[in-house]
Structure 1
Amino acid sequence: MAASALAGRRAHGSGRFAGERLVQGAALAGAALAAMSSGRGPERAKARRFARRGAQGAAAVLVQGGSHLLFDGLAVALRSAAGPDPDAPGPDAATSAVRLLALGSAALVLSAARHDAAEDRSGSAERTVDPGQAAPGRRALAACGYAACALSLPYPVVKLAWECGSDIGITRPEVIHAIPGGWLPVVPALAGSALSLALVRPWGRVVPTWVPGAGGSRVPRWMVLWPACFGVAVLAQVAPAALTAGIRYQLDPGKPSIEEIGLRAWVPLTFYACWLLWGGTLAGAAWEYHRTTTDAG
């Protein structure tokens, strides 16, 4: 139903955002492939596996398309922090709804594909592999979680330092410190840092015993894996474009220097390079989490 509603967005005609048609196609393709994977019988095992892989790919496109919803929310929060501005464009409710439907469609497609895979594995014992006991190649993937956490920190640490009055990396304090709501992007960044660790730490698999009521219970894998996939999609969407734009800006003699705008040149390039590497290491940690918690629920 989510895929059909997303495809129905065609009727609006105007106000499209870049990649909307790709999102619509991925929604319909994912639903069709998920339905194809539900056939039974040993002779259809190979076709079911192919359909599941295709459905997972379509879901990845949907997550990518819906990931900009995070920036829609941040834009609204920043506008609220800056105060009312009658000239500022308001949020596009239709576009936000399409992105939300894309995420919902991805969840439904992944759920259907996972249910079919679970039926194929019915009768097999549960297994949860400790990353510390994995083969050397797998240990490298597990280490990606720690690297991802480290790479996520420069941005929120520097931003928080600015909010506390520090002038690190700043050439025009009166400009940077006057930006309202500068702390808001720190919240999702620090959440991403914690998520990076959750992918490789025991508390990302089993709730710590000191947590009242839930201590010792298994963490549903979707609560860690789905936000991680969303984070990878956001970083894959933002980091390459930001790094490329930053380099082009510095190489363009017709543009004012970054120092004139208010920052040392190393600040944005460090942020963007870290985001790019964070996306890669987060993807590796998410894959290891998926591999080591399959059938764990």
Structure 2
Amino acid sequence: MTSSLSTVRDGRRPPRWAVLAAHAVPLVTLPSGVWRLFLAAGADLGLRPRDPFGPGEIVYIVSLSLVSEGLALLTLGLVRPWGERVSRWVPVLGGRRVAPYAAIKPAAAGALALAAIWAYTFPTFLRSTGVTFTAPGWHALLVACYVPVLLWAPLLGAVTWAYWRRRCRD
């Protein structure tokens, strides 16, 4: 018996590696989001000097973390039935088939954008973040929280490719 989570509309399941990769995406974005949430909550995190954040900055930091994690969770749609057919509970669109390129184009653009952003930003980020830390361990923690996010682009790209193969090829 097949569970409804692994059944797809056309009878073709995503490859196991794609399912694992899709589930890894929210996990690789989580450490950086948690680091930002601690920062927004006022945790020291070894930053010096640091003035308290204003309400607008806190909203921005929390929103960035939530939006990043939400976008990462959308990767699951590339390996789940709701990535092929809109859930019935969704008003107006419920039950309709998702056109493959309506998922493929934004996912591929997202993977390319993430790769470009991190290719440009991360080398500088590793050397110096533009802030002073009270101890080297704090900078190491920051880097350790952000290094996993480098996997987001290649994982998303691979899962998008698997979705394209399953939905658009014979």
Quickly name the TM-score band, shorter chain normalised: 0.7 to 0.9
Alpha-carbon separation, structure 2, partners of 1:141 and 1:235:
19
Residue identity in the other structure for 1:129: R
In the alignment, which of 113, 121, 144 is matched to residue 242 of structure 1? Answer: 121
* CA displacement, residues 244-276 of structure 1 (integer Å, 9 cap, x when unaligned): 2233338xxxxx874159x92134413441221
TM-score of the superposed pair, with normalisation by structure 1: 0.45
In the alignment, which of 131, 140, 155 is matched to residue 17 of structure 2? Answer: 140
Alpha-carbon separation, structure 2, partners of 1:168 and 1:209:
46
Residue identity in the other structure for 1:284: A
* CA displacement, residues 159-182 of structure 1 (integer Å, 9 cap, x when unaligned): 23433x241634348436358233
Query: What root-mean-square deviation, in Å, do the aligned CA atoms of Structure 1 and Structure 2 show?
Result: 3.2
**Which ranges of structure 2 fall in alignment gaps of 5 or more residues?**
1-8
Report the counterpart of residue 157 of structure 2 in structure 1: 283
Residue identity in the other structure for 2:104: L
Q: How does 1:1-297 map to 2 (within 5 A)?
A: 129-131=12-14, 138-163=15-40, 165-167=41-43, 169-172=45-48, 174-175=50-51, 177-178=53-54, 180=57, 181-249=60-128, 258-260=132-134, 264-294=138-168
Alpha-carbon separation, structure 1, partners of 2:46 and 2:81:
39
In 2 relative to 1, CA 173–249 (structure 1 residues): closer, same or farther, beyond 3 Å? closer
RCO comparison, higher one (Cα < 8 Å, 6+):
2
Alpha-carbon separation, structure 2, partners of 1:267 and 1:153:
14
After TM superposition, give the deviation of residue 287 of structure 1 in Å: 0.7
Contact 1:243 1:272 in 2 (8 A): no
After TM superposition, give the deviation of residue 286 of structure 1 in Å: 0.8
Residue identity in the other structure for 2:125: G
Contact 2:42 2:52 in 1 (8 A): no
**Which ranges of structure 1 fall in alignment gaps of 5 or more residues?**
1-125, 132-137, 251-255
User: Which runs of 4 or more aligned residues in structure 1 lie more than 6 Å from their structure 2 counterparts after TM superposition?
Assistant: none
Report the counterpart of residue 12 of structure 1 in structure 2: none
Alpha-carbon separation, structure 1, partners of 2:164 and 2:87:
20
Contact 1:159 1:186 in 2 (8 A): yes
Question: Quick check: which has more Rg, 1 or 2?
Answer: 1
Alpha-carbon separation, structure 1, partners of 2:88 and 2:109:
28
* CA displacement, residues 215-266 of structure 1 (integer Å, 9 cap, x when unaligned): 222122233222211211122112233332233338xxxxx874159x9213
Identity %: 25
